[in-house]
Structure 1
Amino acid sequence: MSPLPLSTTVRLSALRAGHLTLPEHLFVTGGDPERRNTVPSLAFLIHHEPSKTNLVFDLGVKRDLSGYAPALALRKGGLDPATDVDFVVLSHVHWDHVGTPADFAAATFLVGSGTLEVLKKGAGLKYPAELFHSDELPRDRTLELPPVPGRANGGAGGYYETHAPKHTPMPKGSRAKLPPHGYSPVTVNESEGRASCTWKPFAGFPHTLDLYGDGSVYVVDSPVTSTAT
């Protein structure tokens, strides 16, 4: 691993994004099936100093629980989500990660390939369409990253092996933006309506994306391995 340029500086802040109570056996091997634990739903704010942009990774639990789909029954902290956040990266769109996207009125949402189809059609019996809102993300400001080579749309195993959600092209007149020229290795092919980038191995991970092109922030592909049936 080569050292980062001295001019590359990022500030990382943990955000309080809600809490949820889960059966212990869901996240602790050999956990007591009768025991439940309250755990935080994590989100993070990253300020990329060279480009003067702010990125939020995951949005946690919705601040207004009535905003969830009926089947399921970020406060300001020095930054205004509506104007001061440039990018939101979502690891996935389960209820405890998707938060309240409407708060981020100017941000570009960067998501994995197939995300928008999951919001419309669901993903198997465990995650049917009624658990999602098809309009959860702003279509004209959402950019799906390219599929990982050698694996259809980034899915792997179980349900996703044969039902990988399809990549959704950008609409005409998309307002999605990328980090300033000279930083990001991601480019947009407007004629094809999709982003282009090269997934590369880094630090033991086979597929990563150097989001700003300076080694400061990496998106790491984490394929689905559960059956989701």
Structure 2
Amino acid sequence: MTASPTALIAFLVFLCLLMKDSALLCSADPTYGFRNIPLTESNFVLQKSYNLASADRYSYSNGVRRLWVFSADKPFKSGSSTDPRTEIRITGYDYSSGVWQFEGYVFVPSRTSGVSIMQIHRAEGEIPATDAMLSVYDGELRFYVGAVLENNVYNRWIKLNMIHDVDGNKLTVFVDGVIKHEARGRGRSNFYFKFGVYGQTGESKRMESRWRNVKIFTK
């Protein structure tokens, strides 16, 4: 009998937790068994400081989306108490069940710190607001402010994959095809993916991330 893709990924996670230093063993194609969902530009909705034009904080050229923000920028809407951000919200594919996956290549310039670069967001108004957040602090890619997923991420392209098994309440993060972290979710909600730069505690004066080949998958 052939093992299911979910069972294979779970087995790889188990082996990686036992043998954390074996990058070869932990390498896999996270998208195996998933269906790629076609996206158009209408699915990429920009959120940026409400008093600025899109071109002041965002560019899209030669397949690369470049997003930047300053710590002194205003929030994305008037009256909001949130930190400044320049993010893209993927619309049209909010989900509340099943298994979903985000994939993208990201480049973080040096001196960008104290910033979220990717989120799995819960329904608007819920607390907590997210089930997952990938952040950069002093060149380290972290899950929120905790587990270090990758060191020395500045000035190079890295491939990120995040699998969200809603029914299993489980999150799995891959960096360059290697399983780096597994976490429990925070229960059911209506979820969506975001990426870009969103200031956090200890944010640098200027924050930037660049993205290419952003895709989402499901099964």
Identify the structure with bigger relative contact order (alpha carbons < 8 Å, sequence gap 6+): 2
TM range (shorter): under 0.3
TM-score under structure 1 normalisation?
0.26
TM-score (norm 2): 0.27
Larger radius of gyration: 1
- Greater helix content: 1
